[in-house]
């Protein structure tokens, strides 16, 4: 009788530890994107640096992220648990070798095609002179930034091995190196350029921006690579041609590539369409980091903790237990994520007034707030989609979530494009977030209906109506208070945000208790080591 209790406590510790590590990683991400917004500003210069630096990220997500992360971790876990470290080294090295060959070819093409890529990034700008300057600067930067895809491959495989070895903390602190070098480079740029945030830069200024981005990614990769080397694991690229184990991994990861393509499509669309307004791309990326924080701290540990139990229930074909496990996870996320989402919407503007510094504080608060609020609307849907995708993995089906992700991702891109076409200014940034929300909401609904049919049980979070009702009522009251007081200045807005969160949180907890909304904890089995999240390879996010 003691074993289930011990297992539950172990899962609680694992989930809490992952939440703390994820929280630390997100805080580091805040520092990086806020520094970019403060120094380069919500300007076309900020857009150009951000979008150019993200091109390698989009390419990696579209071509390799799924293949490297989806099946490599569980395979390595199995090998290392059987003390077959030499075989794990051979397999990881072979996968890395193939990735470097493929991405090496992509790098060459990308560097040669930099002018065309730059033209695409600047296509949303209506002013021809601004577009021409953007293309010139982006072409220069892309020839430094595109080769980052090779670094991403090394970093992702190194992190996969560390996950398999249950070394979680070092993966969370890896972004520190990236943040330090990017911020240092931006400070140097500010020294060289002064208050100039235009697109006409000297060679020294352009080199400073180019090197800060690439050296930042190199530092990110160095942290897990050195940590892995210190464990005694030797990660060396190998040629794995004809290797049955490698071929099996590549076959299994095929559908995972499509699911990661959704991330690449939505991110790529945001980069191009966000550039239609000065500072739009910067604002969206800052908002994206704020959006990922509650997901990483709350939702990711929950669906990671439940994953192994889903796998066990599926293996026994106990679909009643499978549905109960899944509903527990969705209910827990509803009770925790929905009020956070409401708080982000209500406090978007005063919150961004607090966090916006430098150039962004002058003219970017409205853009930043629009991005945060629009993305926050879909926070629960995003968390549910990724949870349901893992439920399909537990059933041995990676095809369905991949196809749904690709189709809904394309739908989200269309929604972004239509929204940007119909709006102006900060509303265009909001259109990007709404497109993202539409994609993941549609995907979550389709996956939920499919799982209900497959298991014969309704996969519906019963706590959602209660969580939404309480959050909307308290959120409207908080919004009214914020609009009536309408403080000015960073300190006053910080006090307002803290007060609304404290009072609103207390009222929400009282409401949950009064309505009997406590989510009952049920048996949770000891989890396997989690696979890498779809967003985990996004170093810059």
pLDDT on residue 12: 47
Residues 6 or more apart whose CB falls under 8 angstroms from that of 365 comprise 349, 352, 353, 356
Q: What is the DSSP string of 173-188?
A: HTHHHHHHHHHHHHHH
Helix (H, G, I), strand (E, B) or coil at 230: helix
Which pLDDT does position 447 carry in this prediction? 95
Across 1-16, average pLDDT: 45
- Mean pLDDT score across all residues of the chain: 84
224-260: pLDDT as tens digits: 999 999 988 888 888 766 667 677 776 666 676 777 7
User: End-to-end CA distance of the chain, in Å?
Assistant: 44
Using 50, 70 and 90 to split pLDDT, how confident is the model at 16?
A: low
From the DSSP assignment, how many helices (H) and strands (E) are in the chain?
A: 24, 0
Token readout for 499 is 């007060």
At residue 23, the pLDDT reads: 61
Residue 368 confidence (pLDDT) = 92
Among 264-268, 479-483, 503-507, where is mean pLDDT lowest? 264-268
The more confident residue out of 468 and 359 is 468
Please give the average per-residue pLDDT across 132-150, as a whole number: 94
Distances (CA, A) of 148 to 25, 89, 174: 20, 23, 16
Residue 136 pLDDT greater than 90, yes or no: yes
Per-residue H/E/C for 440-494: HHHHHHHHHHHHHHHHCCCCCCCCHHHHHHHHHHHHHHHHHHHHHHCCCCHHHHH
Confidence of residue 527 (pLDDT cuts 50, 70, 90): very low
Cβ neighbours for 363, distance < 8 A, ≥ 6 positions apart: 41, 42, 279
Which range is least confidently modeled, 324-328, 360-364, 496-500? 360-364
Instruction: Establish how many alpha carbons lie within 13 A of residue 5's alpha carbon, considering only the half-sphere containing its beta carbon.
Output: 2
Residue 166, Cβ density class (10 Å: 0-12 exposed, 13-18 middle, ≥19 buried): exposed
Confidence tier at 5 by pLDDT (50, 70, 90): very low
- What's 28-65 look like in SS3? HHHHHHHHHHHHHCCCHHHHHHHHHHHHHHHHHHHHHH
pLDDT at residue number 524: 41
pLDDT of 494 higher than 80 = yes
What confidence score (pLDDT) does residue 514 get? 86
State yes or no: pLDDT of 261 exceeds 80: no
Structure tokens at 100: 């470097």
Residue range 139-160: average pLDDT? 92
Band (pLDDT 50/70/90 cuts) for residue 460 is confident
pLDDT band at 525 (very low <50, low <70, confident <90, very high): very low
Q: Is residue 180 pLDDT above 80, yes or no?
A: yes
Question: Would the pLDDT of 535 be above 50?
Answer: no
Judged against a pLDDT cut of 70, whether residue 532 lies above it is answered with no
What confidence score (pLDDT) does residue 476 get? 95
Q: What is the structure's pLDDT at 165?
A: 83
CA neighbours closer than 13 Å in the CB half-sphere of residue 208: 17
Mean pLDDT for 367-388 is 94
- pLDDT of 25-67, one tens digit each? 667 777 888 888 888 888 899 999 999 998 988 888 777 766 6
Q: In this predicted structure, what is the pLDDT of residue 381?
A: 95
Both tokens assigned to 29: 């991400």
Query: What local confidence, expressed as pLDDT, does residue 291 receive?
Result: 92
Of 77-81, 199-203, 282-286, which range is least confident? 77-81
User: Which whole number is the average pLDDT over 476-500?
Assistant: 92
pLDDT at 17: 52
State pTM to two decimals: 0.83
């Amino acid at each position: 009788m003691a074993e289930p209790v011990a297992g539950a406590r172990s899962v609680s510790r694992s989930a809490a530890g992952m939440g703390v590590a994820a929280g630390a990683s997100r805080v580091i991400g805040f520092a990086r994107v806020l520094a970019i917004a403060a120094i380069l500003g919500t300007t076309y210069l900020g857009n150009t640096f951000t979008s150019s630096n993200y091109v390698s990220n989009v390419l990696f997500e579209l071509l390799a992220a799924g293949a490297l992360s989806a099946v490599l971790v569980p395979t390595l876990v199995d090998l290392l648990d059987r003390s077959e470290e030499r075989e794990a080294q051979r397999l990881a090295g072979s996968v890395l070798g193939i990735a470097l060959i493929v991405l090496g070819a992509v790098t060459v093409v990308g560097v040669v095609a930099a002018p065309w890529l730059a033209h695409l990034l600047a296509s949303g700008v209506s002013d021809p002179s601004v577009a021409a300057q953007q293309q010139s600067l982006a072409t220069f930067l892309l020839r430094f930034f595109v080769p980052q895809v090779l670094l991403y491959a090394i970093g992702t495989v190194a992190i996969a091995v560390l996950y398999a070895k249950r070394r979680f903390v070092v993966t969370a602190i890896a972004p520190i190196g990236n943040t330090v070098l990017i911020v240092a480079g931006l400070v140097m740029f500010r020294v060289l350029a002064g208050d100039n945030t235009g697109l006409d830069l000297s060679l020294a200024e352009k080199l400073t921006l180019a090197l800060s981005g690439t050296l930042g990614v190199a530092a990110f990769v160095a942290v897990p690579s050195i940590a892995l080397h210190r464990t005694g694991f030797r990660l060396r690229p190998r040629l794995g041609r004809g290797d049955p184990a490698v071929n099996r991994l590549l076959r299994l990861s095929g559908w995972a590539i499509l699911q990661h393509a959704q991330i690449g499509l939505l991110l790529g669309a945001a980069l191009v369409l966000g550039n239609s307004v000065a500072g739009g791309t910067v604002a969206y990326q800052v908002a994206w980091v704020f959006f990922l924080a509650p997901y990483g701290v709350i939702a990711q540990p929950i669906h990671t903790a439940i994953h192994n139990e889903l796998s066990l229930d599926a293996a026994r074909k106990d679909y009643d237990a499978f549905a109960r496990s899944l509903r527990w996870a969705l209910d827990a996320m509803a009770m925790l994520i929905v009020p956070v989402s409401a708080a982000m919407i209500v406090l978007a503007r005063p919150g961004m007034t607090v966090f916006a510094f430098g150039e962004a504080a002058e003219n970017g608060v409205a853009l930043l707030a629009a991005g945060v609020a629009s993305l926050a609307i879909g926070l629960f849907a995003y968390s549910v989609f990724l949870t349901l995708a893992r439920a399909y993995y537990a059933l041995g089906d990676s095809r369905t979530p991949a196809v749904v992700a690709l189709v809904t991702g394309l739908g989200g891109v269309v929604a972004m494009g239509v929204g940007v076409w119909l709006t102006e200014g900060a509303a265009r940034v909001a259109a990007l977030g709404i497109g993202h929300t539409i994609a993941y909401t549609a995907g979550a609904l389709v996956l939920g209906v499919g799982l209900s049919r497959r298991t014969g049980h309704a996969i519906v979070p019963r706590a959602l109506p209660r969580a939404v009702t309480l959050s909307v009522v308290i959120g409207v009251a908080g919004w009214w208070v914020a609009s009536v007081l309408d403080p000015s200045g960073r300190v006053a807005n910080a006090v307002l945000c803290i007060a609304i969160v404290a009072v609103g949180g207390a009222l929400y907890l009282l409401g949950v208790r009064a309505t009997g909304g406590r989510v009952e904890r049920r048996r949770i089995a000891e989890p396997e080591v989690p696979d890498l999240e779809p967003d985990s390879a996004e170093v810059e996010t």
